[in-house]
Amino acid sequence: MKIALFCDTYIPVKNWLVSMVSQIKSSLEAEGHEVYLFCPDYPDHTDTEKNVIRIKSVGTPLKLDDRLPITLKKKKEIKQFLIENKIDVIHSHSEFILGRLAKKFARQLDIKYVHTFHTMWEDYSHYLMMPKISIRKALQHFLKNVECITTPSVKSCQYLETILKRKDIIHIPNFIDEQKLICEANEEDINKLKKQYQIEKDNIIVSFIGRVSSEKRVFELVQSYDTLIFPKNNHIKLMVIGDGKQFKKVQRYVANSKYKDNYILTGYVEWKDIGSYYKLSDIYTTISISETHPMTVTEAVFLWLPCVVVQDKSFEGLVTDKLNWYIWKDIDDYSEKILSLASKPKARKSFMKESKKIAQKYISKNIIKKYIELYEI
């Protein structure tokens, strides 16, 4: 098949959506399909990847990494490209400019159209500077008359079914680039990290990977360790891997904490190195509830980590309470779960075995088949 993907953000931007779209493209290509990706251009970036078609863009006023594609002069050119290359499927991954263009061309050219809803935009109203009700109305308008909608979690499925008043939203989970994770997680790099961060044999490393921002609740996570966890178990270290708007705020808090040696703040880490950070960890955690189907949690499961997560439908399918995870209901319950798991190596080992079983559902070859089956309907 010939497939055109449309997304309003892509490499060199580094986020979970870019990773997901990149993996879909490469996985489809690995299955023998011809895939084109339409996305914005970025200053000083040159593509090495084939079939990436850049649209001239300008910076956004929202101070995000994303840019606004200028499509007015490109519409005819894009439409002609889709016709001349006999595109079989258009698959959009954004509700903004290029997503709307994809929807329009699919309708005009009678091409199979699939849209994937990746982001719970109502949780990001502070970034968009819009009221939640306005975001919901805009989303309802965009998804009106879209026949085939997919989304990566039970949570986002139920959300769309509620606001669109329909029951045919298709749940296709996010998947992982398992080969990269395995290849990059080597013992030599792990030992270097242990030395760099002064990690001793008796330390228990609890890790969070992601954007250090308000919706991820990283500052609240850091505070909870200072008051509820480190005073009871000084062998635990919390490793925050990532950067973001609240990183300096977290840094200042840690610098003034009497438990500052129990924190590891890495800042931004290249994705190619992330496998080693997972392998360095004993427990993975997040207290964020702004996810659809979090990539980092899926990766943690694949690398057999026991996890402690908030009770939220975004983790449904990934989590089985007391088998490979502890699910907590309030911050006191959370601290009890962390302390319990940290003190029980046998429990951690048991959780790891269960994570290994669950992870098989999320490897790329199994998930990409679901998309291909959808394209062929």
Do 153 and 194 belong to one domain? Answer: no
335 and 285 in a common domain: yes
Poorest-pLDDT segment among 30-34, 114-118, 202-206, 213-217: 213-217
Residues 189 and 170 occupy one common structural domain:
no
Say if residue 146 is in the same domain as residue 252.
Answer: no
State whether 155 and 105 are in the same domain. Answer: yes
Statement to judge: residues 201 and 284 lie in one domain? yes
What is the rounded average pLDDT for all residues in the chain? 88
| pTM summary value | 0.80
Is the model's pLDDT at 323 over the cut of 60?
A: no
Write the CATH number for 41: 3.40.50.2000
| Statement to judge: residues 323 and 369 lie in one domain | no
- 171 and 264, same domain (yes or no): no
The pLDDT tens digits for 199-208 are: 999 999 999 9
Residue 49 reports pLDDT greater than 80: yes
Name the residue range of residue 302's domain.
Answer: 178-361
* 214 has a pLDDT exceeding 60: yes
- Are both 324 and 222 inside the same structural domain? yes
Q: Looking at residue 371, what is its pLDDT?
A: 97
345 and 226 in a common domain:
yes
Number of domains composing the chain: 2
**What are the contacts of 148-151 at 24+ separation with CB within 8 A?**
148/112, 148/113, 148/114, 148/115, 148/374, 148/377, 149/114, 149/115, 149/116, 149/117, 150/114, 150/115, 150/116, 150/117, 150/371, 150/374, 151/116, 151/117, 151/118, 151/292
Is residue 302 packed enough to be buried (19+ CB in 10 Å), middle (13-18) or exposed (0-12)? buried
Closest alpha carbon to 226 in 235, 238, 214, 215: 238
Residues 233, 151 share a domain: no
Whether the predicted pLDDT of 5 surpasses 90: yes
Which tens digits make up the pLDDT trace of 334-343?
899 899 999 9
- Poorest-pLDDT segment among 1-10, 219-228, 236-245, 354-363: 354-363
Whether residue 143 is found in the same domain as residue 186: no
